[in-house]
Chain A
């Protein structure tokens, strides 16, 4: 299988950092945004921002996927 492009991979890493690894930074009540505690607001916001990142990744990956696949003896 062709490996994904670096760009798509980096775009996919953004939601992982924002949602998963940075939890001590955003798991708090204040500042409250739109009446929601900050942790609820942050994760709901990323429900909407994740598709944006992945749309970028799609724009990078879709044209590569429709190219003819490399035959045997191509890059391993």
Chain B
């Protein structure tokens, strides 16, 4: 009992400190739509780095990475594959997106499609697909948070109240401070996560085996097959690795919330430099693998790999440290969740409701509807998280299969004059349809390849074929930015 009180106090203190930073960031600023969703395009290098690292390193870093190392082994290396490569891709996409975003005052990913292809149905469809796939990602954050707090408090807080309380805090700071609030909570979260990953990742192998090298020596002797692909699985081999790494590295910045976060940067050069240095933060990932691998030897037979890291920490360290990890884990769910809620709500209000249902809406009304939607989305994700529980990584990979389908529309939209609206529209519809059909019928992976990758290939083929069959169009980025779509 005593240790659960100590752990609980540390969790609450960490979460409260984060919440305070989130609320404080938004005071003294007028929260119109532009400030709320893109922070008046004023974030410098450091804040962009913190926001992006804050968004990218989610509960998945905390639980899923060590979980896969524990339960699957070698295939977990796909994470170390896609992380540096997605920043390589972003180097050629985000600065260019920022440039057109600034020129046409874009606030969302769907705005990009609206301006470039000049079709409100395509933009609304992109927004819809984005929102539909954000919900499981949000659910993933919630379930991770529930698990972390439950284990870290020695079961004193059940996961359902933990999820409800923390997500009400998230909704509250998103409403008051928008993206700026999220960026400032990231400051605390990134520092804590970096500290705990380095500490735990080094300390656990050291305590049990005398170091990382000796730990691998034991693994090589006892479970050599676990260390290479396909590890403990039968179907996650090299072709799965290549197709998944390709899909995720091109699909990553197609998540509407990551795409949209680039608009908050101060300049395109900020994003370019950011893309160069971001891979350094990924050094936390192998440390999480080490903890998961240590757990395969120390704690064999856990019911789910997702808990391997926390169970190791609980077994190894005192209560206050577990509480600190629990608090960091909770913030790790809350920061990305904040941006997801913000993005989904804006997409719904600005790119689906206004153009399709109520064309006469003023910007103030859009902002108001978006803020109401924040609460609706929070409740939907909460219900989804409370009533279902697949393991973490599979849920995330589903999302990449969906949002990855925006890639041809974005890249060809930037670099090709020949691509046409019907081509992109047909391609996105095909890609999403193929992916959902394969996934629902249990064909992921299919023939050793990631289903989202197959869908992306179909998508590209359709975009190219239909674009060549339809007459050339004037590129939306050649128009003068007369009509403002922003606030």
B318 CB-CB contact with A under 8 Å: no
Given A43-B80, A51-B276, A65-B269: A16 in contact with B216 (beta carbons within 8 A): no
Docked complex Cα distance between A73 and B477 (Å) = 13
Closest to A58 in B: B276
Partner of B229, one of A9, A20, A27, A47: A27
A20 touches B478 (CB 8 A): no
Chain B contacts for A51, CB-based, 8 A:
84, 276-277, 279-280
B214 CB-CB contact with A under 8 Å: yes
B432 CB-CB contact with A under 8 Å: no
A47 touches B85 (CB 8 A): no
Distance in Å from the Cβ of B70 to the closest Cβ of chain A?
15
B5 CB-CB contact with A under 8 Å: no
Number of interface residues of A (CB under 8 A): 41
Which residues of A6-51 have CB atoms within 8 Å of chain B's CB atoms? 8-9, 12, 15-16, 19-21, 23-24, 27-29, 32, 34-37, 39-40, 43-44, 46-48, 50-51
B88 touches A20 (CB 8 A): no
B216 touches A15 (CB 8 A): no
Distance in Å from the Cβ of A57 to the closest Cβ of chain B?
6
B228 touches A29 (CB 8 A): yes
Distance in Å from the Cβ of B410 to the closest Cβ of chain A?
11
Given A1-B414, A19-B85, A20-B81: A65 in contact with B279 (beta carbons within 8 A): no
Distance in Å from the Cβ of B486 to the closest Cβ of chain A?
20
- Per-residue A-contact encoding for B131-149, CB less than 8 Å = 1, 0 else: 0000000000000000000
Distance in Å from the Cβ of A19 to the closest Cβ of chain B?
5
Given A20-B246, A39-B228, A43-B81: A58 in contact with B88 (beta carbons within 8 A): no
Partner of A23, one of B238, B282, B283, B417: B238
A34 touches B213 (CB 8 A): yes
A47 touches B80 (CB 8 A): yes
Partner of B286, one of A4, A16, A40: A40
B84 touches A15 (CB 8 A): yes
Chain A contacts for B246, CB-based, 8 A:
20
Chain A contacts for B74, CB-based, 8 A:
27, 39
Docked complex Cα distance between A72 and B77 (Å) = 46
Given A19-B84, A47-B80, A62-B272: A32 in contact with B216 (beta carbons within 8 A): yes
Closest to B413 in A: A1
B80 touches A44 (CB 8 A): yes
Give the tally of cross-chain contacts (CB within 8 A). Answer: 125
B160 CB-CB contact with A under 8 Å: no
Q: Which of B25-33, B90-98, B350-358 contacts A (4 or more CB under 8 A)?
A: B90-98
Docked complex Cα distance between A35 and B202 (Å) = 14
> Which secondary structure dominates where chain A touches chain B?
helix
Chain A contacts for B220, CB-based, 8 A:
29, 32, 37
Chain A contacts for B272, CB-based, 8 A:
58, 61-62, 65
Docked complex Cα distance between A39 and B415 (Å) = 36
Closest to B88 in A: A12
- Per-residue A-contact encoding for B243-266, CB less than 8 Å = 1, 0 else: 001100100000000000000000
A36 touches B216 (CB 8 A): yes
Given A27-B74, A35-B213: A20 in contact with B276 (beta carbons within 8 A): no
Docked complex Cα distance between A16 and B261 (Å) = 25
A68 CB-CB contact with B under 8 Å: no
B227 touches A58 (CB 8 A): no
Docked complex Cα distance between A19 and B80 (Å) = 9
B227 touches A21 (CB 8 A): no
Distance in Å from the Cβ of A76 to the closest Cβ of chain B?
5
Docked complex Cα distance between A71 and B478 (Å) = 9
Chain A contacts for B315, CB-based, 8 A:
none
The residues of A with any CB-CB pair to B shorter than 8 Å are: 1, 3-4, 8-9, 12, 15-16, 19-21, 23-24, 27-29, 32, 34-37, 39-40, 43-44, 46-48, 50-51, 53-55, 57-58, 61-62, 65-66, 72, 76
Considering the complex of A and B, which 8 residue pairs feature the smallest CB-CB distances, nearest first? A35-B213, A50-B84, A43-B80, A54-B276, A1-B414, A20-B245, A50-B279, A23-B238
The residues of B with any CB-CB pair to A shorter than 8 Å are: 74, 77, 80-81, 83-85, 87-88, 91-92, 95-96, 99-100, 211-214, 216-217, 220, 224, 227-229, 238, 241-242, 245-246, 249, 268-269, 272-273, 275-277, 279-280, 282-283, 286, 289, 414-415, 417, 477-478
New A-B pairs, 6, CB < 8 Å, besides A19-B245, A72-B478: A16-B88, A28-B228, A47-B283, A54-B275, A58-B91, A58-B273
